[in-house]
Amino acid sequence: MMVITSPKEMNAWSQTAKLQKKRIGFVPTMGCLHRGHLSLIEVARSQGKCDTVVMSVFVNPLQFAPNEDFDKYPRQWELDKKLAEDAGVDVIFHPSSEDMYPANAKTFVEVADLSSVMCGLTRPTHFRGVTTVVAKLLNIVSPQVTVFGQKDAQQCFIIRRMVQDLMMETKIIMAPIIRENDGLAMSSRNRYLSSDERTQAVCLSQSLERAEKMINAGEKRSAVILKAMHEYIQQNPLAKVDYITVVNTETLQETAEVFNKSLIALAVYFGKTRLIDNIIL
């Protein structure tokens, strides 16, 4: 596995790979890799039919607000290198903040409307940071296929829209959520949870399962489903709901009824740790 830190070198590597008729799959991450990230590599190869996989490891300062956990965000570069190599990554792109954001940079990428709802309400500058860095990464790596995890479903829908609106060439694949044995969606932030919080955090996936059962039994009214989810989560004293919502995946606007392809998503705080989860019907 190669480690490339310079954007120029990364781009040159990709151009050469394309001349060799290689299909490049790309998995952008902020490191601190877990099984969820590693599953994206496999999806790039199988579903994306890629014969070479590039993973980026870059903790993007632009997507953290000043009051968020940028400094505290877990970093484990040596372990990430080993995990990525064992999982079959061909190149890790690990740029510096200075290279990604030169002091005179003045350009930001923002997807209107979709970025200001759901997680955008509590994190108003977050998705602008995500789309700006992902646009840069896609320009540098120039992959035919890019894989994101469904756990960050809003991020994935926003990036799909950016790629479509900016006529970018890459195909976006959304890969399934990987869960712990008890159902908690894997996340680098799970390690912030105390043991009591970790025990109670399973209520996120359980509330989504409950919603799915209600829908399978014929319930369509979003308000009824959301009320049941709220009540279920509120039984856990350490959980504080940020939002629970039913939206249309195209517009991310709330809908009064659930329908095929509705996204049911939620964000819940445990202390300062904010966890997200979702299902797509």
Catalytic residues: 37
Instruction: Report the residue number, 155 or 170, with the smaller CB distance to ligand PAF.
Output: 155
Q: What's the min distance (Å) between Cβ of 29 and ligand PAF? A: 5
Enclosing H/E stretch for 269: strand 262-270
Neighbour-count burial of 236, counting CB atoms closer than 10 A to its CB (0-12 exposed, 13-18 middle, 19+ buried):
buried
Considering only the stretches 2-10, 130-138, 238-246, 253-261, report the one whose residues sit in contact with ligand PAF under the rule CB under 6 A.
130-138
Residues in the chain: 281
If the CB atoms of residues 149 and 193 are measured against ligand PAF, the closer one turns out to be: 149
Give the number of residues in contact with ligand PAF, rule: CB under 6 A. 10
Q: 183-187: which pairs have CB atoms within 8 A and are 24 or more residues apart?
A: 183/209, 185/36, 185/151, 185/275, 185/276, 185/277, 186/34, 186/35, 186/36, 186/151, 187/34, 187/36, 187/151, 187/275, 187/276
User: Which residues are bridge partners to 268 per DSSP?
Assistant: 241, 275
Which positions from 22 to 61 touch ligand PAF by CB under 6 A, shown as an x/- string?
------xxx-----------------------------x-
> Closest distance between ligand PAF and the C-beta of residue 149, in Å?
7
Nearest approach, Cβ of residue 132 and ligand PAF (Å): 9
Among 14, 39, 52, 63, binds ligand PAF (CB under 6 A): 63
Of these, 41, 133, 275, 276, which contacts ligand PAF (CB under 6 A)? 133
132 binds ligand PAF per the rule CB under 6 A: no
Nearest CA to 91 out of 172, 178, 12 is that of 12
* Binder among 134, 225, 275, 276 for ligand PAF (CB under 6 A): 134
Q: Which two tokens stand for residue 120?
A: 């955008």
Nearest CB to ligand PAF, comparing residues 158 and 226:
158
Task: With beta carbons less than 8 A apart as the criterion, state whether 252 and 117 touch.
Answer: yes
Both structure tokens of 162: 């950016």
From candidates 43, 130, 158, 185, binder to ligand PAF by CB under 6 A: 130
DSSP-derived letter for residue 221 is B
Q: From the CB of 76, what's the least distance to ligand PAF, in Å? A: 14
* CA–CA distance, 106 with 117 (Å, rounded to integer): 25
CB contact burial 47-74 (16+ within 10 A = b; e otherwise):
ebebebbbbbbbbbebbbeeeeeeeebe
Residue 64: DSSP 8-state: S
Q: Which of 152, 178, 204, 277 binds ligand PAF (CB under 6 A)?
A: 152
Query: Tokens at residue 60, please?
Result: 């993007």
Taking the least distance from each CB to ligand PAF, the nearer of 123 and 198 is: 123
Residues that bind ligand PAF (CB under 6 A): 28-30, 60, 63, 130, 133-134, 152, 155
